[in-house]
A = this chain, B = another copy of it.
Amino acid sequence: MVDEQDFLAAYDPGAYPSVAVTVDVVALTIRDGALHLLLIRRGQPPFEGRWALPGGFVRPDEDLTAGARRELAEETGLGGEGLRRVHLEQLGSYGTPDRDPRMRVVSVAHLAFAPDLPDPAAGTDADEAGWLPVTALANRQLAFDHGRIIDDALERARSKLEYTPLATRFLAGEFTISELRAVYETVWGHPLHAGNFHRKVLSVPGFVESTGTSTERGGARGGPRAKLYRAGDARLLHPALLRPAREETVR
């Protein structure tokens, strides 16, 4: 089946089904102790006025991930150096035939973890853009199937924190163990035991490495100065930091 159509397509570009490919980005960050994501309010139909993920058509000579990075840069106004600190990975593709009422669109969704970024600059177009807390999404109707994409992205993010050191990507270059714990608590949505978390993080090889320095001041409400760490060189956590046993155990 492949080659019969391949053959036609090779000599007649109109012979293969017409599909548009877009890249969308679920960009997550932590602001004021809450998980936020980057959304854009649509200025045109369909779904005019609704919030949507940043994204757009993939360009002819651009890799999928490069396209996602470009879209992210355009919406955040982030330069080359800032972008390097952002983790970006492919999440999955969404191609239900009628997900866009205008035509067949396959969207390659990506997931980004960013340190606290400034508010989107007045964008390249008239649309409103901003970081919204994910908790504000529950009652909101998003454009297209972006609600489902975000659900998948959040689950992926929660899972990634278990077995990769990517939680550090939500933080600036140097951070305390408490700040790292706050990332986990925010993404996972429940508190962790401070003492056990502390010991656990330091016991995983390559997760964090000491800078030798400490914070200038103690906590706002008291407490000693905390030691500062930066991300280590591990790409996987061994052993993993598993989420507290969810009795759901999905059946």
Contacts and interface: CB of A to CB of B under 8 A. Distances in A.
A108 to B, nearest CB: 5
Given A2-B22, A60-B97, 8 more contacts: A1-B56, A2-B40, A2-B56, A5-B57, A17-B20, A19-B20, A206-B249, A206-B251
14 contacts: A1-B125, A2-B22, A2-B40, A9-B103, A13-B18, A16-B20, A16-B57, A19-B20, A60-B97, A63-B96, A90-B92, A95-B108, A235-B251, A236-B250
Contact of A43 (B3, B52, B62, B93): B3
Given A205-B249, A236-B250, A21 B97 contact: no
Contacts of A74: 1
A60 B225 CA distance: 61
Q: How large is the interface on A (under 10, 10 to 19, 20 to 34, 35 or more residues)?
A: 35 or more
Interface in A42-67: 42-44, 52, 54-64
Interface of A: 1-7, 9-10, 13, 16-22, 40, 42-44, 52, 54-64, 71, 74-75, 90, 92-97, 102-104, 106, 108, 124-125, 127, 205-206, 233-236, 238, 245, 249-251
